[in-house]
Chains A and B, each alone.
Chain A
């Protein structure tokens, strides 16, 4: 089980007259096992939305609920994948992945089974004992995703996870994430400013306005994807050529273009 709800959420940074309103009356419900991407211009507060679900920030007004309960602090039920990977450089790949399981006080045997399957899932078996600095950016992000998946979290929070990767690696990671998400669906909140990425990955895409961020529009991608059988294409570029894909992408593009300050790609 894992649902996320934003109820009339405001976020103000700073205090009094110096305060800056970052988010304005955000309402969004993400169902169990649904993959929702938020796109928006830089500085619109989309990352703040994610950070509130993670428990790193508190809402100034309204409430953020996970499974109907208000979020109070960070916790392993809401795993985060950070843009800058945020691996522990002094821990090996195995130790990075294992930390969350140790924190859950799982017995050693169970831990190593779970780590082994997470390593396999992300194709990391040959790098078990490497330190993060010995890995490429793509590999490091695989470790971070494995570290999040192994927790078996109720919701998965991904904050521009592929933003720091080069274009080729990015495409590979997107394809792998689709594979993961379709075979083993879970609740995902995915933040990105790359429109195509959002359309390719998500069941629904929420578009935000510029600051103070509001939800402008929510598009149902899943209905189109299933009707047009996107998943019958293995490669991202084949999907991106489909008329239905192009149509959705262009729609989001136009919507974002109306927001001043949006610049991308």
Chain B
């Protein structure tokens, strides 16, 4: 028993070693990139400030937008505004898309009705809706929420639909055999069984929401991170462009992380999600 047990712990410690080694390597890569940034812009001047900002310029831009503000307001209010729009558009898309996907997955008739509409609309990139949305609703929030809804809706629908269609047949049969009434079937069987796929859809929807929002704000907006990027481009201001890019990156990363945490909570029963 003893050698076997020790071998087991060896294996376990090797696994943690591997994990910590991974974080170390990852950290080194990031540090290396930052050093490279310094070297290319500040120390050697191989890349001039007109092409890409040096760390110092980035820092100055960051201070400017945090203090005096840029493009009409501070970074925090630009970021919060963008975040608000993404969350609103994403939420509307999920609340409409997931039920529709579940319904299409469950009912062949619903699929037959709705699928043709989908096939026509799907090849149109969501960003192509931006001009029409602005024409309809102007440069305000409503147009952006509409466009985000368009782009985030599709992955939510498709993955919920696929989730229902991929449910193990015996699970549905077991539920029917147990005399499960219709509404309980949806709530306690269909929905949880498709939840892993639904979350895959939500992740894609969230990514699409950010992409679309930035694009919409680039085209026409009065506030928001995309607007900052647009202004900085017109001002030929690389430092501020980088500030906008980094801000979008951090916002996207943070919301994705939040979603992943919710997913882990919701799918605690799911083995596949744990590994």
Chain A contact residues, CB within 8 Å of chain B: 54-56, 73-76, 78-80, 82, 84, 86-91, 99-100, 102-104, 131, 133, 147, 151
Closest CB-CB distance, A64 to chain B, in whole Å? Answer: 15
| Chain A proximity mask over B168-208: 1 for CB below 8 Å, otherwise 0 | 10110111111111001000110011010000000000000
Task: Decide: A99 and B188 in contact? CB cutoff 8 A.
Answer: yes
Check: B117 CB closer than 8 A to any chain A CB: no
Task: Decide: B269 and A80 in contact? CB cutoff 8 A.
Answer: no
Q: List 16 A-B contacts (CB under 8 A).
A: A54-B177, A56-B176, A75-B177, A79-B177, A84-B170, A89-B269, A90-B195, A91-B188, A99-B175, A99-B188, A103-B178, A103-B181, A103-B184, A131-B269, A133-B270, A151-B178
Task: Decide: A86 and B171 in contact? CB cutoff 8 A.
Answer: yes
Q: Which residues of B contact A100 (CB under 8 A)?
A: 178-179
Q: What residue of chain B has the Cβ atom nearest to residue A147's Cβ?
A: B178
Task: Decide: A76 and B173 in contact? CB cutoff 8 A.
Answer: no
Q: Which residues of A contact B193 (CB under 8 A)?
A: 88, 90
Check: B30 CB closer than 8 A to any chain A CB: no
Q: Which residues of A contact B175 (CB under 8 A)?
A: 88, 99
Which of B170, B193, B270 counts the most A-chain CB atoms under 10 A from its CB? B170
Task: Decide: A82 and B170 in contact? CB cutoff 8 A.
Answer: yes
Task: Decide: B173 and A74 in contact? CB cutoff 8 A.
Answer: yes
Chain B contact residues, CB within 8 Å of chain A: 168, 170-171, 173-181, 184, 188-189, 192-193, 195, 269-271
Task: Decide: A86 and B170 in contact? CB cutoff 8 A.
Answer: yes
| Further contacts, 20 of them, CB under 8 A, given A82-B173, A90-B270, A91-B269 | A54-B173, A56-B176, A75-B179, A79-B177, A80-B174, A80-B177, A82-B170, A82-B174, A88-B174, A88-B188, A88-B189, A89-B269, A89-B270, A89-B271, A90-B269, A99-B188, A102-B184, A103-B179, A103-B184, A104-B179
Q: What residue of chain A has the Cβ atom nearest to residue B270's Cβ?
A: A89
Task: Decide: A56 and B180 in contact? CB cutoff 8 A.
Answer: no
Closest CB-CB distance, A100 to chain B, in whole Å? Answer: 4
Q: Which residues of A contact B269 (CB under 8 A)?
A: 89-91, 131, 133
Q: Which residues of B contact A54 (CB under 8 A)?
A: 173, 177
Q: Which residues of A contact B188 (CB under 8 A)?
A: 88, 91, 99
Contacts A88-B192, A89-B270; is A76 near B179 (CB within 8 Å)?
A: yes
Give the distance in Å from the alpha carbon of A102 to the alpha carbon of B180 in the complex. 9
Q: Which residues of A contact B180 (CB under 8 A)?
A: 99, 103
Give the distance in Å from the alpha carbon of A232 to the alpha carbon of B171 in the complex. 39
Closest CB-CB distance, A71 to chain B, in whole Å? Answer: 12
Give the distance in Å from the alpha carbon of A81 to the alpha carbon of B227 in the complex. 61
Task: Decide: A74 and B177 in contact? CB cutoff 8 A.
Answer: yes
Q: Which residues of B contact A133 (CB under 8 A)?
A: 269-271
Give the distance in Å from the alpha carbon of A80 to the alpha carbon of B271 in the complex. 25
Per CB-CB distance, the 6 closest pairs between chain A and chain B, nearest first, are A86-B170, A100-B178, A86-B174, A90-B192, A76-B179, A133-B271
Give the distance in Å from the alpha carbon of A90 to the alpha carbon of B167 in the complex. 13
Give the distance in Å from the alpha carbon of A104 to the alpha carbon of B179 in the complex. 8
Which of B171, B178, B180, B269 counts the most A-chain CB atoms under 10 A from its CB? B178
Q: Which residues of B contact A151 (CB under 8 A)?
A: 178
Q: What residue of chain B has the Cβ atom nearest to residue A54's Cβ?
A: B177
Give the distance in Å from the alpha carbon of A88 to the alpha carbon of B171 in the complex. 7
Q: Which residues of B contact A79 (CB under 8 A)?
A: 177
Give the distance in Å from the alpha carbon of A147 to the alpha carbon of B175 in the complex. 11
Task: Decide: B181 and A56 in contact? CB cutoff 8 A.
Answer: no
Q: Which residues of B contact A74 (CB under 8 A)?
A: 173, 176-177, 179
Q: Which residues of B contact A82 (CB under 8 A)?
A: 170, 173-174
Give the distance in Å from the alpha carbon of A73 to the alpha carbon of B177 in the complex. 9
Closest CB-CB distance, A246 to chain B, in whole Å? Answer: 35
Q: Which residues of A contact B189 (CB under 8 A)?
A: 88
Closest CB-CB distance, B186 to chain A, in whole Å? Answer: 14
Q: Which residues of B contact A75 (CB under 8 A)?
A: 177, 179
Closest CB-CB distance, A200 to chain B, in whole Å? Answer: 26
